[in-house]
Structures are given as C-alpha cells and as structure tokens.
C-alpha cells in the first residue's frame, strides 16, 4: 500500500512535500508583490500557525490568522491575500483548504450550503417553501398594512386611470336610459352605511360585449354595474344588495390590497426573469384580472348583510340574486362553451352556500 505522502504526490503534483502528520506542507504557487504585475514562482510552506513564501529573492513569513483566504471553488485558484497588499495564487489547493479548516477557520453559511449538492438541494426546497409561505401568509398582511398608507387622492387617480383604460379597451357606454340610471342612483344613495364606515361611492353604468353579468368596485368607491346585471335583477332591492356587497369591498380596501399584492408578485417575477418593462404593463390590467379571495368575498357579504339589515332590507336579497346569477351563468356556459373572462361567479364562493349564510343573518340578528 502506498504511503499517504506518495499517494498525494501522485494525485497532486503541485504539492512538493507533505509531511505525514499533515501539520505542515509545501505547495507551488505564484507570488505577486502588489507593486508590479510580475509573477514570482515560489513555494508556499504552511506550518499551522505561519505561512512562509520562498522563492528567488523572496522570503516572507505571515501569521496564518492574518491571511485572507479566498472562498473555495471547484476550479478557481486559491488566493491568499496578505496584510501588506501582496498575494499568492495557488493552482491546486484542496489539501491546503482542508489543512486550513483544521486551524479553526470557519466558512460562511453560504459556502457550506453551496459546496454540496445535497445542501444546495435543501436550499432549493427551502427557497420554494419560503416563497410559498410568503405569498400565502406574509403578503396579505403586508398588503393590508400598506393599503392604509395610500392616500385617497392616489386612490382616485389610480381608479380613474383604470376605468379610462377599461373604457378604451373593453367597456362601452351603457344602453340604459338616463332616467333609469338616475333612478337607480337615487335608490342606492338611500342605502345608509354604518356611521363609522364613512364611505363615498360613485355609481357608473357600462355595457360590455365580453363576459357575463357583473359589477365591480374600484378602490376610490366607484362602483360599476354592467347593463346585463341590471337587466337580470328581479327588482331594484336586489341591485341595492349587490351595491352593498361592492361597497363592502371598498370599505375593506380589497381593491388596493389586491393591487399591492399583484404588483409585488409582478415585481418579484420581473426581477427573477429580468424584464422590468413588464411591470408597467402588468399594473394597468391588474384590478379586474385579480380575483378576490373567498375571504374577501365573505367579508364583503358580511358587510352587505349588516348594511341591508340596517336599512330594513332582507339579507336574503343578495342570496337570491346570487343564486339567480349562478343559474344564468350555468345556462350560458352550456349554451356557449367558452369560459367567460370576467365571470362573476367563478371567483365567488358557491352561491348556494353564500345564500345560506345570508339566511342565517335573519335568524341570528
């Protein structure tokens, strides 16, 4: 069997000598004095506490603790940087690395993680978990907190810009008569919210060739009804219920929160894929593309039910209308097998379940 020394010599031709106790070894390297670009061929003697450089006209000794050792990499040369600005480059240094490790030199967490595939794989898994957890738990909380820092003025600018964009690209003016529109506005302005709500709403009517019956709220309190939704309702009280539901979204700042969340996601995705220009484009269409979570819908339903009760109206109005909406959309979908872009139902919790919730309000409150 070969001795350790012979073995190392065969595998590591750079090592000139290596003592069997492994506490001292000699390596071939290039020394640079920091004053000129001349490369001096030297031998580097590592002796536990000291590192000596020996070559023609060069004889230096440094304390090991004062030497800066570069991060270990697979193919890159090891660089020893000394206090006087000079440095030594060692082509093959795996032995020196392990010897330096024995002197109590600790590598950073990053180096420990990246040096092996197993730890790198763990880092990858942990990264995925971290991103998933951040998206599910941290982002909504942060967005909620941040939404309170956006001024009303900003909200109204964002909202009017969004509506302008939609008017240009998707929406058409309403076909409802002026009388019908002002009648509905008057009917809805009679709905009083709880004293602490302090809501200012502004009702708009639009027609659209895309999607089914729908209504949506913009962050500044603008609530847009589609003609198809108005025509679907059995009576104006049902529309008032939808209005109360949308006002709930405004009250809980759902629109702004979704906008903050979506732009945060867009920002992260853009920085990952390195395309910043996509952020600007993504922002405008966000409001409608973003689906409210079930929690947001429930909050809005609760707000609606409370408001309806306060105005001596039945919370079942909303439930009845939701059921009707669902039947209509189901029928339409079977008629026409294309999925609707802004399908009111698909983003909402099952209408039947919500209708039941509304019933509950009557008995409990």
Choices 15-23, 83-91, 312-320, 326-334 (CB under 8 A): range interacting with other proteins: 83-91
Annotate 67-124 with DSSP letters as a single string.
-EEPPP-SSSPEEEE-TTS-EEEES--HHHHHHHHHTT----HHHHHHTSHHHHHHHH
Enumerate residues 6+ apart whose C-beta is below 8 A from 358: 301, 305, 315, 316, 317, 318, 319
Please identify which residue in the block is written with the tokens 């952020």: 279
CB of 63: closest distance to other proteins in angstroms? 19
Q: Is 86 in the site for other proteins (CB under 8 A)?
A: yes
110 vs 362, which CB is nearer to other proteins?
110
3-class state of residue 250 by DSSP: helix
Enumerate residues 6+ apart whose C-beta is below 8 A from 152: 220
3-class state of residue 323 by DSSP: helix
Q: Is 56 in the site for other proteins (CB under 8 A)?
A: no
Enumerate residues 6+ apart whose C-beta is below 8 A from 125: none
Q: Is 277 in the site for other proteins (CB under 8 A)?
A: no
Choices 69-77, 197-205, 292-300, 319-327 (CB under 8 A): range interacting with other proteins: 69-77
**Chain-centre distance for alpha carbon 167:** 29
Within positions 199 to 258, which residues make up the interface with other proteins, using CB under 8 A?
Answer: none
3-class state of residue 164 by DSSP: helix
Selected binder of other proteins within 5, 7, 49, 73 (CB under 8 A): 73
Q: Is 273 in the site for other proteins (CB under 8 A)?
A: yes
Q: Is 74 in the site for other proteins (CB under 8 A)?
A: yes
Q: Is 194 in the site for other proteins (CB under 8 A)?
A: no
Is 324 in contact with 192 (CB distance < 8 Å)? no
Q: Is 167 in the site for other proteins (CB under 8 A)?
A: no
CB of 6: closest distance to other proteins in angstroms? 27
3-class state of residue 335 by DSSP: helix
Selected binder of other proteins within 130, 141, 194, 350 (CB under 8 A): 130
Q: Is 132 in the site for other proteins (CB under 8 A)?
A: no
Choices 70-78, 168-176, 203-211, 315-323 (CB under 8 A): range interacting with other proteins: 70-78
Which positions lie near other proteins, rule CB under 8 A? 30, 32-39, 70-71, 73-77, 79, 81, 84-87, 89, 91, 109-110, 113-115, 117, 120, 123-124, 126-127, 130-131, 134, 154, 157-158, 272-273, 280, 283
């Amino acid at each position: 069997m070969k001795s350790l020394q012979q073995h190392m010599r065969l595998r590591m031709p750079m090592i000139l000598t290596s003592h069997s106790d492994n506490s001292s070894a000699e390596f071939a390297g290039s020394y640079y004095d920091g004053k000129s670009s001349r490369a001096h061929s030297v031998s580097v003697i590592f002796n536990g506490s000291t590192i000596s450089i020996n070559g023609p006209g060069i004889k230096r000794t440094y304390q090991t603790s004062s030497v800066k050792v570069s991060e270990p990499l697979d193919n890159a040369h090891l660089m020893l940087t000394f206090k006087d600005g000079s440095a030594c480059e060692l082509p093959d240094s795996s032995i020196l690395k392990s010897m330096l490790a024995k002197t109590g030199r600790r590598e950073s967490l990053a180096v420990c993680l990246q040096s092996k595939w197993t730890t790198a794989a763990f880092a990858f898994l942990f990264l995925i978990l971290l991103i998933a957890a951040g998206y599910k738990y941290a982002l909504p909380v942060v967005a909620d907190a941040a939404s309170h820092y956006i001024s009303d003025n900003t909200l109204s600018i964002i909202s009017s810009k969004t509506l302008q964009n939609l008017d240009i690209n998707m929406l058409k003016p309403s076909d409802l008569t002026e009388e019908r529109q002002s009648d509905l506005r008057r009917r809805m302005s009679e709905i009083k919210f709880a004293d602490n709500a302090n809501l200012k709403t502004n009702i708009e009517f639009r027609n659209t060739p895309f999607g089914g019956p729908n209504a949506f709220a913009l962050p500044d309190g603008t609530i847009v009804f589609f003609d198809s939704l108005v025509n679907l309702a059995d009576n104006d009280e049902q529309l008032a219920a939808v209005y109360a539901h949308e006002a709930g979204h405004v009250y809980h700042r759902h629109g702004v929160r979704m906008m903050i969340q979506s732009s945060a996601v867009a920002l992260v995705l853009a920085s990952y894929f390195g395309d910043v220009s996509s952020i600007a484009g993504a922002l405008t269409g966000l409001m409608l593309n973003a689906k409210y979570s079930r929690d947001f819908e429930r909050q809005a339903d609760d707000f609606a039910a409370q408001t309806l009760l306060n105005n001596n109206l039945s919370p079942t109005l909303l439930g009845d209308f939701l059921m009707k909406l669902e039947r209509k959309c189901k029928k339409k979908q079977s008629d026409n097998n294309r999925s609707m872009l802004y399908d009111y139902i698909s983003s909402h919790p099952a209408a039947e379940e919500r209708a039941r919730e509304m019933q509950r309000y009557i008995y409990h409150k």
